[in-house]
Amino acid sequence: MGHIIAKVQKAEKETEQVSLLTLDISINAQPGQFVMAWLPGTEEKPMSVANASPLQLAIADAGEASKKMASLKKGDILMVRGPYGKAFSPKGKKWLMVGGGYGFAPLRFLAKEGIKKGAQIQSIIGARSKKYLMKEAPGKNHFTTDDGSAGEKGNVMAVLEPLLKKEKFDCIYCCGPEKMMLAVALLAKKNKISCQLSVERYMKCGFGVCGHCAMGGWLSCIDGPTIDGEEALKNPQFGKLACDRAGKHVKI
Ligand code: FES
């Protein structure tokens, strides 16, 4: 699949670390899918879709290529190919989003689409501190920060555990640091609630050829990035090991 040349229509600073770029193109993507974004002269990067029409990408300024993308301004060009990967699959009507850091971006897209279809949505949005908190989604929002500078003090579990004692949900959708997703998947299993995660691995091709994004025999780019929580828990590398850019296993 070739690249589409997109122009930045709007560049907003969503958090201290994240730029929300609105591009002048729309793509036929579902929440949970990703695109490969490229600035000539830098490495191509997978970016989860934060909105499909117009296409929005929430870019964290981590790493050289992403830093350059995050500093793009109105009128700048970004090359995009995709969408790729498996989207989240809607389940029932009562959904709970659990997002850590910029991992909340695809969940907000899912919440927007869910509300249009009549789903009842709550979101738990967590970050290290207030300046790293992503903006709210439609529905009811709960915020947590590790340092207590906004919302509940602690990580997303500080809200998730008591909430699951009070209310029933048909599905938990979760995206963020892998250790956080591991804890959420274990709690969902204990409470017998269906759970879907978005597992990120280092990606090169985006369509199942290079093998860089493998988590055991599971390829994040074509088998995922979304994965059922119970399936992830059965994968011995989930929450433990990932490949770096040289293809070497490193601890998470
Ligand atoms: S990124 Fe190449 S196989 Fe997944």
Ligand 1 site, residue 214, Cβ cutoff 6 A:
no
The pTM of the full predicted model, rounded to 2 decimals, is: 0.94
pLDDT at 248: 72
Overall CATH class of domain 4-84: mainly beta
Ligand 1 pocket, mutate which of 38, 207, 245 (most atoms under 8 A from CB):
207
Ligand 1 site, residue 211, Cβ cutoff 6 A:
yes
Ligand 1 site, residue 247, Cβ cutoff 6 A:
no
pLDDT at 251: 80
Q: Average pLDDT in the 16-36 region?
A: 97
CB of 88 within 8 A of CB of 52? Answer: no
Q: Where are the domains of the chain?
A: 4-84, 88-198, 199-252
Task: Find the 86 Cα to ligand 1 centroid distance in Å.
Answer: 13
Task: Find the 139 Cα to ligand 1 centroid distance in Å.
Answer: 35
- Quick one: pLDDT band at residue 1, thresholds 50, 70, 90? low
Residue-wise pLDDT for 196-223, tens only, equals 999 988 888 999 999 889 998 999 999 9
103 DSSP assignment: G
Task: Find the 205 Cα to ligand 1 centroid distance in Å.
Answer: 5
Q: Where in 87-237 does DSSP place strands (E)?
A: 94-100, 120-127, 140-145, 152-153, 171-175, 194-198, 214-215, 218-219, 226-228
Determine the atom of ligand 1 nearest the C-alpha atom of 202. Answer: 1
Q: What architecture does CATH give domain 88-198?
A: 3-Layer(aba) Sandwich (3.40)
